[in-house]
Amino acid sequence: MSVVRMRSGRLTPGGNARAGVTRTVVGLLAIAFGSLGLATLASAEGEAASSARGEQLFALCTQCHGTAGEGNRDALAPAIAGLPAWYLEAQLNKFRAGIRGLHAEDTGGLRMYPMSQWLRTDEDAKAVAGYVASLPATNPAPALEAHGDAGRGAGYYAVCSACHMPNGSGNQGMGAPPLVGMNDWYLLESIRKYKASIRGSNPRDNLGQAMIGMVATLPSDEAILDVIAHIQSLDK
Amino acid sequence: MILESLLPAASSYARDIGFLFDLITLLVGVPFLIACYLFFAFIFRFAAKKVDKAMYITGYEHEYMKWIHRAHVPILVFDVIIVIFAVNVWYNVKQNLPEAESTVRVIAQQWAWTFVHPGPDNTLDTADDITTVNELHVAKDTLYHYKLESKDVLHNFSVPVFRLKQDAIPGRVITGWFEPTLAGEYDIQCAEICGIGHGLMPARIHIETPSQHAAWVAENSPFSLAKASAPELEVAER
C-alpha cells in the first residue's frame, strides 16, 4: 500500500513541482523494484509449489517405479530417479497424448499410458518430471543374465554416440536421454521394441521414428547385448 | 423394463437379464416398501401413547410367532421363482455356446484392453488379423465368440449394454459369446479391481451394421494399411 501512496503523491500537499516529479520517479522505481522482488518471490514460491505438487503426484509413480524411483523389473517399470527433467517431461507428454504406449504389444507402455492420464495439465507433467529429476540417481545394478562383449559393443555404439554422446550422458539438443544409469533390461527391451516398431512407430513420434532407423544398425540380440555391455562400462 | 430405461439393451440376451433384474426388483422391492410402510406406520401409530408396556415374547407362542413364520413363505416362494428364471438365463448365456459366425480375442492387462479381430478372412490367428487397443469393432446381428485372456492379474470383461460380465483369469482362455443387436458406440469396462490403474482402463465397443463393419475391416486390415503406406507396391488383398 505504501508504494501506491508514494506514487499518488497525495502525501505532498503544498510541495513544489520538482519535488513532486522526484517523488513520482522514486515512486515508479520503487514500484519497479517492488514488483521485481514480488515476481522473484512469486517465482520462488511457484517453484516450491511445483515441487510440492510434483512430490504429491509422484506417489502415483511409486506404485511401480518404487518410492525412490529405483524401478521394478517385475512391474516393467525402469529406474527414473535423476533422469533429466526435459526427458521425463517429454516422455510423460508422449504417453499423455498416446504417442507412446498405445501399441498392442507394448505391455509396459500400456500400463504407463493410463497412469499418465492422471496428469491432467502440462503443469502437472512438468512438476512431477521436475521432482523425479531432483531425486538422487539410483544407478541400478546389472540385471540381465546374458552379457555382451563391451569391446564389440563400442563399435556398434559409434552410431549411438552421435546423439547420446560418447560418454552416454545424452544431449538435450538432440532429444537424446542419458543411457548411463538406465537399467540394462530396460535398454534391451527398448531397443527390441524399436526394432519391432512397437515403440516409435507413431507418426507423431519423430524421435522414436529416428530411433527405429538407428537400431537397424544392431543386427541381432547379441549385438544389442554388446552395445548394452559397452554402455554399462561407461563412467556413471 | 426398469433396467432398459436406464441403459440400452444391445445384445440378444440383454433383455433376458433385464427381465431378471426387473423380476428381482419387484419381488424384493414391493415387500421392502410394505415393510417400510409398516415400520413407520407402527412407529407413528403407537408413538408417545401410554399403551401397554412392551411385551416379552419367548418365541414359543404360535399366536405371535405366526407373523414371523408367515413372512418366510413368500421369501421361499420368491427365491424359487428367481432361481427358476435365473438358471434358465444363466444356462443360455454362460453354459450354452451357440455356433459362432465370427470370433474375437480379448486380451486384458494392467491397464488396457487389446482386441484381435479376425480380419477379412474371418479367421483368427492369420496374417490379416486386425489388432486394436481399447477399441472393439463388431457387426450387428452377428454371433461372436470371444476368447478372453489376461496377461497379468484378474480382470473382468464387462460390456454393460450387453449385460455381459466375464472374469479374465491369467493362464486361462475363457470362451463366451454375444450377439450385438443395436448399432452404436458403447462402454467396455474392467469390473474386477486390478491395481492402481483399474479405473483408467475403459474401452469402447463400436457396433456397426454389417456393411459398415465390412468397410472398417477392409480399411484396417494389415494389407490395406500396407497398401496405403506404400501405394506403388502391389499388395495382394486376400
CATH superfamily of B102-229: Cupredoxins -  blue copper proteins (2.60.40.420)
Note whether B111 contacts A63, CB cutoff 8 Å.
no
Q: How far is residue B188's CA from residue B167's CA, in Å, rounded to a whole number? A: 13
β-pair type (B184-190, B112-117): unpaired
Q: How far is residue B168's CA from residue B153's CA, in Å, rounded to a whole number? A: 8
Q: Enumerate the residues of chain B whose CB falls inside 8 A of the CB of residue A117.
A: 200
- Mean residue pLDDT of chain B comes to 90
pLDDT of A129 above 50: yes
Q: How far is residue B21's CA from residue B14's CA, in Å, rounded to a whole number? A: 10
What band does B231 get if pLDDT is binned at 50, 70 and 90?
A: low
pLDDT of A7 above 50: no
pLDDT of residue B235: 44
Instruction: Please give the model's pTM, rounded to 2 decimal places.
Output: 0.79
Average pLDDT over residues A151-172: 95
Interchain CB contact of A117 with B (< 8 Å) = yes
What band does A36 get if pLDDT is binned at 50, 70 and 90?
A: low
pLDDT of residue A48: 77
Average pLDDT over residues A79-106: 95
Q: Enumerate the residues of chain B whose CB falls inside 8 A of the CB of residue A103.
A: 133
**CA angle at residue A30 from A27 to A32, to 5 degrees?**
110
Which of 1.10.760.10, 3.90.1150.10, 3.40.50.720, 3.60.15.10 would CATH assign to domain A50-233? 1.10.760.10
pLDDT of residue A6: 34
pLDDT of B91 above 90: yes
pLDDT of A12 above 50: no
Q: How far is B153 from chain A (nearest CA, A)?
A: 12
Task: For residue B106, give the chain A residue with the closest CA.
Answer: A104
pLDDT of residue A21: 55
Q: How far is residue A44's CA from residue A210's CA, in Å, rounded to a whole number? A: 38
Per-residue pLDDT of A191-233, as tens digits, reads 999 999 999 999 999 999 999 999 999 999 999 999 999 999 9
Residue ranges of chain B assigned to CATH 2.60.40.420? 102-229
Q: How far is residue A95's CA from residue A102's CA, in Å, rounded to a whole number? A: 8
More confident residue, A86 or A19: A86
B157 phi and psi angles, rounded to 5 deg: -80, 105
Q: How far is residue A190's CA from residue A184's CA, in Å, rounded to a whole number? A: 10
CA of residue A27 relative to chain centroid, distance: 43
More confident residue, A17 or A64: A64
Percent of all residues in chain A with a pLDDT value above 70, rounded to a whole number = 80
**CA angle at residue B152 from A182 to A201, to 5 degrees?**
55
A4 exposure class (CB count in 10 Å sphere: 0-12, 13-18, 19+): exposed
Q: What is the DSSP letter of A174?
A: G
Per-residue pLDDT of B175-228, as tens digits, reads 999 999 999 999 999 999 999 999 999 999 999 999 999 999 999 988 877 766
The domain segmentation of chain A, as residue ranges, is 2-48, 50-233
Interchain CB contact of A60 with B (< 8 Å) = yes
β-pair type (B135-139, B203-208): parallel
pLDDT of residue A5: 35
Q: How far is A223 from chain B (nearest CA, A)?
A: 29
Note whether A118 contacts B112, CB cutoff 8 Å.
no
Beta-carbon contacts of residue A112 (< 8 Å; ≥ 6 apart): A95, A100, A101
Average pLDDT over residues B94-119: 95
Q: What is the ipTM of this complex?
A: 0.75
Note whether A111 contacts B109, CB cutoff 8 Å.
yes
Average pLDDT over residues A36-46: 59
Beta bridge partner(s), residue A103: none
